[in-house]
Chains A and B, each alone.
Chain A
Amino acid sequence: MTDCATYRVPFASQLKQGGQTGRFDCTAWATSRAIARATCGKKVPSGRTIRLHSSEAIPDPDSPGLNLFQVAAVAENDYGVYFEIFTGAKALPFAGYEQRRIDGRPGVIQVGYGPIADTKLDAGRGFRDNHAIYEDNFETIESLADGRAPGVWKFDGRLYPRSVMKAAAAKLWTGSHYTGLGHVWCMFARDVIPDYRARVPAGSYLAYQISGAHVVMRRTRRTGGFSGACTPPRHFLWGSRTVTLVQMLSGAKAGQWISHNYAMEG
């Protein structure tokens, strides 16, 4: 049996090994590396497999990449690997990201590629947009770094300079703004699925009706306030939009789906 403490995740090239969706699949490939580490090498899926098992097996022409919630769902459902996701208001400070990484937790970090492209580690051949990269306590696996052409960095097992990764995390484009220095959108594997609780204050809130992976409708409801156990956050499609929700598990509102903004661990 492989010793996870010393297990080194193998490199994989999203372009050379990625099949017809390889150029869209850095998030899937980074997640595949994280699953490998989380299972000590027992399960080493390809990024292509992650893509095919995702809610978007065929890339959306308008937005062909994947987000962290989509790949985390595949990891949990197909490989039993739970990822804790830190995005939006729950993004980590860089120190918090580093603490989890140094602890040995396999992680996927979302970055803007520009700060990496500006170094000798550049493997994008002009690419400077949103990208996803696998990191752990040993190494950075950047799935473009395959040395496929002169001037393209080739993976050598190193951990990328922390100043470069911090700058790249700050350059993630959210659609309306850059995340900014000290904000890291990422996910980390976790051995134990944490308990979540939601607390909705008095006033109005939105309750969603779900069918499979899709929102069917939502209603505005009024409440005097409630709280209770809920599921971890899950991602749903609503037409061309997306929303992250939790389902109440206890109390009078058990069964209702509400925004994950009401939920926290513990």
Chain B
Amino acid sequence: MNDFENTVKTALNDEVDEQVGPRRTPPAFDATRSAARRSGGAAGSRWLRPLLAAAAVVAVAIGATAAVDAISNTQRVAPATPRPGPTPTPAPAQTVTPPAPSTPPPATTTSPTQSPVAPSRATSTTWTTYHNGRYGFSAQIPAELTAGPPPTDGAGLTYRSTDGHTEETVSASAAPAGATATSQGAEYATQLSRRGELTYTNVDVTAKTFTVSGYLYGGTYVEYVRGVVGSQSVYLLVWTYPTSQRSTADAWVQHSVATFQPGPL
């Protein structure tokens, strides 16, 4: 995106932001509101057909699922893409706890492929190390996550849980001209605040790192972005996971951030 497009984008989003104000939760959904306004009556007859159709679909689905379970005990296939958790909750008031500051990484191999690492004491999780030869960075991945597609905006890889809800993306890309941890942190903070609720930002100028965190989808998901900004490259560690799974995922985030090894700065 060039400067002109950025100007257009900023102008449009500023205008929208000014009009809509700060993010708010949706009003209670009222399925009768629009239908009543359009035709002013006969709601029962309008509802009967879609309700019957929906009921038929659900009944068939429930019946089929029960039959399959009873006959074969086969494991259901998890969705491939993240979906919201089963019980959406309003965005909690507390901020997402930032992970511990960087600590000396454990001894890991830097082979181009993944290699197993001893289980973490904190999480009892077995970790593998992802190493990117092109940019020279490495990151640890919980064994529970499996490799998915590469990110669209850089070199790296996305790892997902089997249920598709939790993601860890490790990536690197060329640093924009003049990029600093402050400017990149501000950019990611702006992006997150547009998509959800920004709850935490931090920039460490000395370490050239920034941290941005917040909630997506009405508080049902946490997004955590850790960036390291070098003169040539930006290294990113991005986590997305359901709020309901924070007890597990927060520990993963802390470990992965503490052991994240950027390439040349």
Our verdict on whether A and B bind, yes or no, reads: no
Interface residues of A (CB under 8 A from B): none
Interface residues of B (CB under 8 A from A): none
